[in-house]
């Protein structure tokens, strides 16, 4: 069994790891993981990987995200979100929406962002939030993220609701803190809902309550997205029976083994690697993810799922 991908609408008040634990228990699965953590206070799209689909995590972690967020101006916290201790309070000027929009627009495009001290990033193998809780916060260097779009949705000072589309690795609470700093009154992220992650939309999610209902009724199939279908943005190649036999035994596969490989596949790039393709068998089941060579004929396995 290849398993599959389950898109959960994560509720507030529970960690992503706790959601994974519940999914694992309800589905009686040996392996469950997730692709992209949501903080306990946040809600929305959480991509859960079940069974062999856990091997696909690397291909979902780099996808872009969309959020609906609420910025609370005038109050700063040590965690940059509502779970932290208040570190500063300031008066919020009577900003117009035009004033706010001008500042928000400064954060569109490529921006430098300093990861928060309370985050899951590691320092010598220890999560930063654990060090911060011990009174030994570590400041990581700034890194570049991409804000593809940011739009104010509603203003009711001191609250500002906005939507944002961004690259993986963007911290929305840091974005809020930076906007508050730019406005001169400080601020923190007071609410967050992820509406899209790695191509999966909020409309495709299932709640933990729905999952519980499925688990109690064995006649109702669980809405697992097959691994091959879940890799939506990745072009597909269909393996012939001979090529499928090679993949099953870990044999060498070459460009000429695929008649449906695009003519420009060897010049398409994925960073410093060749373009990625998902290889399906004649039933449409995922067999492997491979990259086309930048030179030569031999294709590289990026993951095997048979």
Q: Which residues are catalytic?
A: 39
Give which of 144, 9, 173 is closest to 75, Cα–Cα.
173
Helix (H, G, I), strand (E, B) or coil at 66: strand
The closest of 112, 90, 97 to 188, measured between CA atoms, is 90
DSSP 56: G
Closest CA to 239 of 275, 280, 278: 280
* Beta-strand runs (E) in the chain: 4-10, 32-34, 43-50, 65-73, 75-77, 86-89, 109-113, 122-123, 126-127, 143-156, 159-166, 187-197, 200-201, 236-238, 269-270, 273-274, 276-280, 286-291, 300-304
Three-class SS of residue 54? helix
Instruction: Give CA separation, 202 vs 7, 43, 53, 57, 223, in Å.
Output: 8, 10, 20, 19, 15
Whether the CA torsion 166, 167, 172, 178 is positive or negative: it is negative
Helix (H, G, I), strand (E, B) or coil at 19: helix
Q: In angstroms, how far is CA 79 from the centroid of its own chain?
A: 20
Distance CA 197, CA 47 (A): 7
In contact, 69 and 178? CB cutoff 8 Å: no
């Amino acid at each position: 069994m290849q398993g599959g991908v389950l898109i959960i609408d994560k509720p507030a008040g529970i960690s992503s790891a706790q959601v994974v634990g519940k999914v694992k228990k309800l589905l009686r699965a040996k392996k469950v993981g997730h692709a992209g953590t949501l903080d306990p206070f946040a809600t929305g799209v959480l991509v859960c990987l079940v069974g062999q689909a856990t091997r696909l995590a690397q291909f979902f972690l780099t996808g872009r995200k969309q959020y609906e967020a609420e910025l609370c101006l005038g109050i700063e916290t040590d965690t940059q979100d509502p779970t932290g201790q208040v570190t500063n309070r300031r008066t919020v000027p009577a900003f117009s929406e035009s004033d706010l929009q001008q500042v928000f627009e400064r954060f569109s495009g490529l921006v430098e962002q300093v990861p928060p001290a309370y985050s899951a990033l590691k320092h010598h193998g220890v999560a930063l939030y654990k060090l911060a809780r011990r009174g030994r916060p570590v400041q990581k260097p700034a890194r570049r993220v991409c804000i593809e779009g940011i739009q104010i949705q509603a203003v009711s000072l001191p609250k500002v609701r906005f939507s944002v589309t961004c690259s993986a690795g963007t911290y929305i609470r840091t974005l809020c803190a930076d906007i508050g700093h730019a406005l001169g009154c400080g601020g923190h992220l007071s609410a967050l809902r992820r509406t899209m992650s790695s191509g999966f939309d909020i409309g495709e999610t299932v709640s933990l309550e729905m999952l519980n209902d499925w688990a109690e009724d064995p006649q109702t199939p669980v809405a697992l997205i097959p691994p091959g279908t879940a890799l939506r943005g990745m072009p597909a190649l269909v393996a012939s029976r001979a090529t499928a036999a090679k993949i099953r035994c870990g044999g060498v596969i070459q460009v000429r083994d695929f008649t449906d490989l695009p003519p420009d596949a060897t010049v398409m790039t994925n960073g410093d690697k060749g373009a990625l393709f998902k290889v399906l068998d004649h039933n449409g089941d995922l067999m492997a993810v491979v990259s086309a060579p930048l030179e030569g004929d031999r294709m590289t396995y990026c993951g095997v799922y048979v």
